Amino acid sequence: HDRRITQACLIALLCNDANVFEEDENWHLAGDPTEGALLVMGLKHGMNRATTECDWPRVDEMPFETERRYMATLHHNAEGEKLLAVKGAPDRVLSFCQTQLGVNGIETLQSHHWKAEMEKLADQGMRVMALAQRITTEDLPMLSHQIVEQGLTLVALVGISDPPRPEAISSIQLCHGAGIRVKMITGDSPITARAIGMELGLMSEKVYTGADLDKLNEQQFQDVVEQYDIFARTSPANKLQLVQGLQQRNHVVAMTGDGVNDAPALRQADIGVAMGMKGTDAAKEAADIVLTDDNFSTIAAAVKEGRTVYDNIVKSILFILPTNLAEATVIIVAIIFGKMLPITPAQILWVNMITAITLALALAFEPAEPNIMQRPPRKAKKGLITGNLLTRLVLVGLCAAAVVFWLFEHFIHQGASVELARTVAVNALVMAEAVYLLNCRFLRETVFSKLLIQGGMPVMIAIVVVIAFQLVFTYLPVSQILFGLEPLAAQDWLLIFIVCLPILFLVEIEKFVWRATT
C-alpha cells in the first residue's frame, strides 16, 4: 500500500469520535456521519481500530468548532513519538501546512496543486476534508490553537460523497410548486454547496459564505436573504441571523438541522425540525418537530397533509354554518311575520343530531384536492372564513331556508295538514344539506368532473345513511308520534328532490365566478 494512504487512514481512525458496530447482521453508526465515513475508510484499508488506538493512545484533543472548522488529537506511542492528527475544512487546514507527505517522504507544500484537487472534488458535490499531521520526538505540551495552527504536514484530501436522495429532489420541486422557498444553509465549501444545490434544483446566482454575510449592512443582508438560496461555511450565528432575516420579511420559517450548532436557529424558527436518527439531543430539544426518518420528503408530505386537514376543517365549517343559518332563518322569519313554524324545535334537534354525526363527519375523511400542492401558501393571519366563503355561507343558508318555507307554504295552500307540511319541510332541509354536501367536497373546483367519484366514498356512504335515517324518521309510527309527522307519498319525495337540486348548481355557479375573479 502507498504509505500516504496508510497514514491518511491512521489519521482518519485516530482523529475521530464516531463508532461503527454490527448488530442484527446490519452495520450501525454512532456519531457524526462524516466521521463515520472516515472511520469506514480506515477499516476498509485493513486497519484495526482497537489495535491502532492501543499503539497510539490519545492523550489530548481539541473538538471540532464551527468557528475553527477543524478537530485535532494528540497521540503518543511506545517509541516516544508524538503524533498530532488534524482533520478539517481543506482551506483552513491547508493554511496550517508548510509541507506535504510525498512518495519519498516530506516535501515542500504544493498549494496550487491541492487547491485545484480540492475544487475538482467539490465540483462533483463531494464534501472535502483535509488530513494533516505532525510527527515529532520532541516534548509536545497539551494542545492549543497556537500549536495546532502551524507547522503541519498535509497528508491527503478526502472526498466524501453524500448525494441528495432522489425523493429529496422531487420533494423540493413539490415545495417550489406549493410556493415554499427552500434555502440551503451548510458548513460545506461554497463549491460543494453550489454543486449539491444544483442537484437539488436550487439555482442560486451566487453562494454566500458566512464571512460574506458578516460584511453586509442590515439592508444588504435583508436583500441577500430574500434573493439567494445557498449559504455555505456558515456559523451558528449566521444561521440564526438568516432565520431572523426571513422572519423580518414576514416569512413563516421552518428550519431543519441535526447538530448542536443548529439549536439556536431551530429555537428561533417558527417551526424547528430536528433529525431523529442522526440529530443531537440539543437539536431535538430545541426543535418543535423531530423526524424519525431524517427524510426531507417527510416535510413535504406533512405540508400536504396539513393543507388537507385545514381544507377539511374549512369544508366542515362551511357545511355546518349554512345549515344552522337556514334553521335560524326559518324560525326568525316565521316569528317576525307571525307565521306557523315550518319545523318544530324537536325536528330541528333531530336534523342537527343526524347531520352532525353523518354528513359533517364525512368531510373529515376527504382526500387532498388535486391542486393542493400548486396553491400559494395562505397568509398566516388569514381567517378560516374569507369573504368569498362568507358569501357562499349566506347564499346557501338563505336558499335552504327559502326551499323549506316555499315547500311548507305550498303544501299548506294545497290543503295538506300541518303535520304533512312539516314532514315535507324537515325532509327538504335534510335533502338540501345532502345536496350541498357534494358542493363542499371541493372549495373551489367544480364537482361536475371525475373528481366527484374519486375518493368520494365517505360522502356517498354518509348520504345513503342519512336517507335511511330519514326514511325511518318519516315512516316509523313511534317517530311519527314523537315528532308530529305524516308519511310522504313518492311524488312528495320527487318534489323535494327537484326543489333542492338547484342549490347544487347555484353553488357551482358561485364557484365559477370565484375562480374567474381571483
The dihedral through the CA atoms of 474, 478, 481, 483 has a sign that is negative
Residue type, 511: K
Residue 390 in this model has a pLDDT that exceeds 70: yes
Q: Cβ distance 97 to 108 under 8 Å?
A: no
CB atoms within 10 A of CB 106: 12
Distance between start and end Cα atoms, the chain: 70
- In tens, the pLDDT along 217-226 reads 989 999 999 9
Q: How confident is the model at residue 260 (pLDDT cuts 50, 70, 90)?
A: confident
pLDDT at 51: 92
Please state the φ and ψ torsions of residue 427, each to the nearest 5 degrees.
Answer: -70, -30
Residues 6+ apart with CB under 8 A from 41: 9, 12, 158
- In tens, the pLDDT along 15-42 reads 999 888 888 778 888 878 888 899 999 9
C-alpha cell at 357: 354525526
Q: Cβ distance 314 to 389 under 8 Å?
A: yes
- In tens, the pLDDT along 170-185 reads 999 999 999 999 999 9
Q: How confident is the model at residue 451 (pLDDT cuts 50, 70, 90)?
A: low
The dihedral through the CA atoms of 97, 103, 106, 111 has a sign that is negative
pLDDT at 189: 84
Burial of 178: CB neighbours in 10 Å, binned 0-12, 13-18, 19+: middle
- In tens, the pLDDT along 71-114 reads 999 999 988 889 999 999 998 999 999 999 988 888 898 999 99
Query: Which run of H or E residues covers position 254?
Result: strand 254-257
- In tens, the pLDDT along 47-69 reads 988 899 999 999 999 998 877 88
C-alpha cell at 508: 357551482
Residue 1 in this model has a pLDDT that exceeds 60: no
Read off the pLDDT of each residue in 376-404 and give the average, rounded to a whole number: 87
Q: Closest by alpha carbon to 162, among 192, 126, 124? A: 126
C-alpha cell at 141: 505540551
Q: Cβ distance 175 to 307 under 8 Å?
A: no
Q: Residue 357 and residue 376: Cα distance in Å, rounded?
A: 33
pLDDT at 516: 87
Query: Which run of H or E residues covers position 313?
Result: helix 296-336
Per cent of the chain over pLDDT 70 is 99
Angle at 507 between CA 503 and CA 513, to 5 degrees: 150
- In tens, the pLDDT along 460-504 reads 999 999 999 999 999 999 999 999 999 999 999 999 999 999 999
Per cent of the chain over pLDDT 90 is 54
> Which residue shows C-alpha cell 352532525?
356
pLDDT at 122: 87
